[in-house]
Structure 1
Amino acid sequence: MKGPYPEIQGGGSLMLAWQVRNKRVLVVGGGEVAAGRIVNVLNADAKVTVVSPRSGLNDEVAYRIEQKQVDHVDRKFEPSDLDGVDMVLTAVDDPEASSQIYKLCHERRIAANIADVPPECDFYFGSVHRDGPLQIMVSTNGNGPKLANIVRRQIASSLPKNIGAAIQRVGLLRRKLRKIAPGPEEGPKRMQWMSKVCEQWSLEDLCGMTEEDMEDLLGFYRPGDVPSLEALRLGEPDGAFDGPFLI
């Protein structure tokens, strides 16, 4: 018999957006897999160090090093490389060495991902679609990376082409709203009002919203109303009042 609350479905992963900005990430290896991992963490603004003999670097990793996008240690991994590290990603063709690195990370309580060895991964890399601030990850929990890629492409193909730009404009409006209503007690109202904006305005409206439009729209935050973009620009806001309320 089903209960009143969501049923538990074990066997999944906790899907999180891990903020690694300015955190130290160690990448062990310099091949194709390492190159992909490096792009992922650089896109998240992490500070990356690659440990690999120069002879083992592929062209992309060598380019990242030459451009000083990452630091490079020209040798094989040593335990001291873990000092001060927040995350470890290994991508080397040496299962024994990879397992040893994982054990060292486990002892130091450093989150690690050992490429192609799901049991020795504290987290997985999913297949990610990126459009500006929008990120959508599909994970098969290590069961089928290729299938995750297929599902991700299908999801991405169904999204509006301007969704990323719309999200950027909404983010700017949200930041402006926080400045005029910063108190924690305003939190629920801010969320409700922003939800109304997103629900009542089309993606085209959100993309075309100028900063002047935002300033005018914010005038309706206090009464909790959201006029259409057309009405806002005509100076004839929807609702039973004649104009914006001053904040």
Structure 2
Amino acid sequence: MPNEHPEIQGGGSLILAWQIKNKEVLVIGGGEVAAGRIVNLLNADAKVTVVCPRAGLNEEVAYRVERKQVTHIDRVFLPLDLEPQKNVAMVLTAIDDPDASSRIWKYCKKLKVPANIADVPPECDFYFGSVHRDGPLQIMVSTNGNGPRLAAAIRRQIGDMLPEGTGESIKKVGELRRKLRRVAPGKSTRDINKRMGWMSRVCDSWSTDDFNAMDETDMQALVEYYESGRVPSFEDIRIKPQDDVVWEFDGSFGWM
């Protein structure tokens, strides 16, 4: 009998969307690699502290420091930077000193703080991938540390294939989901499954262009179909009731 279950392919990573909003992240180093890491962290609303002598900051990192987008500690890393009361959730190193990087990694392992040591895959608890970003849409391509440049090329190819306005469509879907929860606020498993099932059918039936063109009135008209279980087309909800027509007869039909 053929196996109907997925085959296991070992050697991969568990790809997650790590929520670090308002969490403390320590970046050690201030060069080009650190600059890229900082952008990713700030886009995820993390609280970033950069440990690096001021002379080692490149133009972009110095700009982040000047704008107070990050906190800067003007020296090399010291163990006190990871004192428990600082609640550091993650450490990223991007320095040109392999021995120092390894010592930092071992110290992080001792404290059970997840760490990424730039360009040293065996000393990484997690990897950065190449990310396509369009509003709320994020698509990450990871080569598990084998080929970052190739990951970037693949990411660009994927981005080029996506329909224009995909990110805006996803925003509209989020707004629609929130509106639906207000209209049908039930919290039982049955209620949740019904909402999810109906939303799935809407997403399967409507195109990116449909969601882009949807306005507040269209959204309200759409959720009114929820109780019936029907999923209308975009054209259906755009059909407006005809205004009442008042006929005026002037006798031209030959009526008396």
Give the alignment's TM-score, normalised by structure 2: 0.89
Partner of 1:152 in structure 2?
155
Q: Is 1:177 aligned to residue 186 of structure 2?
A: no
CA distances 1:44-63 after superposition (whole Å, capped 9, x unpaired): 00000000000000000000
**Correspondence 1:41-60 to 2 at 5 A:** 41-60=41-60
214, 217, 232: which one pairs with 1:212? Answer: 217
Q: Is 1:202 aligned to residue 207 of structure 2?
A: yes
**Correspondence 1:4-83 to 2 at 5 A:** 4-83=4-83
Matched residue type, 2:63: Y
Percent identity of the aligned residues? Answer: 65
Q: What SS does structure 2 have at the residue aligned with 1:86?
A: strand
Q: What SS does structure 2 have at the residue aligned with 1:212?
A: helix
How far off its partner does 1:92 sit?
Answer: 0.4
How far off its partner does 1:224 sit?
Answer: 1.2
Give the alignment's TM-score, normalised by structure 1: 0.92
Q: CA RMSD in A?
A: 1.2
Partner of 1:117 in structure 2?
120
How far off its partner does 1:235 sit?
Answer: 4.0
How far off its partner does 1:18 sit?
Answer: 0.5
Counterparts of 2:208 and 2:7, CA distance in 1: 34
CA distances 1:102-154 after superposition (whole Å, capped 9, x unpaired): 11111111110000000000000001100111100000001111111111111
Counterparts of 2:236 and 2:7, CA distance in 1: 45
Q: Is 1:193 aligned to residue 198 of structure 2?
A: yes
71, 88, 113: which one pairs with 1:85? Answer: 88
128, 131, 136: which one pairs with 1:128? Answer: 131
Q: What SS does structure 2 have at the residue aligned with 1:146?
A: helix
Query: Unaligned regions of 5+ residues in structure 1, if any?
Result: 237-247
Counterparts of 1:80 and 1:223, CA distance in 2: 61
Rg (Cα) greater in structure: 2
Matched residue type, 1:147: L
Counterparts of 1:181 and 1:97, CA distance in 2: 56
How far off its partner does 1:2 sit?
Answer: 5.3
Q: Is 1:222 aligned to residue 227 of structure 2?
A: yes
Q: What SS does structure 2 have at the residue aligned with 1:140?
A: coil
Aligned positions, number: 236
How far off its partner does 1:23 sit?
Answer: 0.7
How far off its partner does 1:184 sit?
Answer: 3.7
CA distances 1:223-245 after superposition (whole Å, capped 9, x unpaired): 21111222212147xxxxxxxxx
